[in-house]
């Protein structure tokens, strides 16, 4: 090979080697760099609380606290703690680094079908005793919110009388809770799951809230119930969120994991961030199987 040709060939080989080395160096550098941050609408997500009445039912109630913490939850809610002493429940929370964000006031005879006392004529003393009992638990557990269940429509009772009693009882509960820094919540519940429930729409709940006018009386907005009764969830969040004290989620219509059903929760979670919701989102759903096996939706949020 002539010298000029040999020199040219060597130059080409050197050039190719430099290109390969530069490419490998770039690849190593790119692998060393951290992943780019997600856009704000994807990086930020609400805070999620496990509902221990409905989730982790593969364990006895006292062991659900450990299971929730192991699954990555930092907060829990439940319907009723009253089968256990306040000190016991407080110890389970403390042992697993959890906070309790919500439970319900005593509902009457749940096993017999009662679903709250707040609107029931003749049960005023029982309701008010329940407020006292719930506040005792809230102080022991550090719980900032209590749900006062309305109860069922009383056959033959004048609707106006039942509503007036509901308003009086809620005003009493809110004023009793205020010195302890506790917020009282009312929740519209769908009448398919709970036929005859006294409070079933967002508009009704907020009208009552406005009438009572106590600053620590807010609405608990369960998006599962709201979708079944009314739909148009995004518009209702935009309208009512400043007066919402707690949000709950479940897939619609089966009340399973939120990634199963007709609601696009990824969109709704981004909307909650956009609207500045800083509260907890309670996961009040029935897992399709073992609870932890259905938590892919939670891992996807990065929460």
CB 135 within 8 A of CB 173: no
Whether 18 is catalytic: no
* Own/partner long-range contacts of 112-116 (Cβ < 8 Å, ≥24 apart): 113/152, 114/151, 114/152, 115/149, 115/150, 115/151, 115/152, 115/189, 115/194, 115/197, 116/148, 116/149, 116/150, 116/151, 116/152, 116/198
Q: CA 202, 116, 176, 132 torsion: positive or negative?
A: negative
Which one of 88, 187, 211, 292 is the catalytic residue?
Answer: 187
Q: CA 83, 256, 205, 110 torsion: positive or negative?
A: negative
Residue with tokens 């994991």: 257
Whether 187 is catalytic: yes
Question: Which structure tokens are listed for 72?
Answer: 């990555």
Which one of 58, 126, 284, 292 is the catalytic residue?
Answer: 284
CA distance 156 to 290: 44
CA distance 86 to 42: 39
CA distance 77 to 65: 10
Catalytic residues, which ones?
Answer: 187, 284
């Amino acid at each position: 090979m002539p010298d000029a040709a040999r020199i040219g060939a060597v130059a080409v080989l050197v050039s190719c080697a430099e290109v390969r080395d530069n490419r490998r160096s770039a690849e190593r550098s790119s692998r060393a760099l951290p992943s780019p941050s997600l856009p704000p609408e994807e990086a930020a997500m609400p805070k999620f609380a496990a509902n221990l009445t409905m989730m982790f039912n593969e364990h006895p109630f006292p062991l659900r606290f450990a299971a929730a913490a192991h699954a990555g939850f930092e907060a829990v809610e439940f319907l009723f703690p009253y089968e256990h002493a306040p000190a016991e429940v407080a110890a389970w929370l403390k042992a697993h680094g959890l906070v309790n964000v919500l439970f319900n006031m005593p509902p009457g005879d749940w096993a017999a079908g009662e679903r709250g006392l707040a609107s029931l004529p003749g049960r005023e003393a029982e309701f008010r005793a329940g407020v006292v009992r719930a506040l005792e638990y809230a102080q022991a557990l550090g719980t900032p919110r209590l749900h006062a269940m309305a109860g069922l429509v009383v056959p033959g009772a004048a609707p106006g009388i039942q509503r007036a009693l509901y308003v009086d009882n809620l005003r009493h509960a809110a004023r009793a809770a205020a010195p302890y820094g506790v917020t009282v919540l009312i929740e519209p519940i769908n009448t398919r799951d709970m036929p005859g429930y006294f409070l079933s729409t967002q508009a009704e709940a907020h009208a009552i809230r406005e009438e009572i006018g106590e600053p620590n009386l807010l609405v608990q907005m369960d998006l599962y119930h709201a979708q079944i009764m009314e739909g148009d969830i995004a518009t209702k969040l935009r309208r009512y969120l400043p007066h919402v004290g707690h949000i709950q989620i479940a897939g619609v219509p089966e009340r399973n994991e939120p990634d199963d059903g007709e609601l696009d929760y990824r969109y709704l979670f981004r909307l909650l961030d956009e609207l500045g919701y800083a509260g907890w989102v309670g996961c009040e759903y029935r897992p399709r199987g073992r609870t932890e096996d259905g938590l892919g939706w939670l891992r996807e949020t990065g929460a």
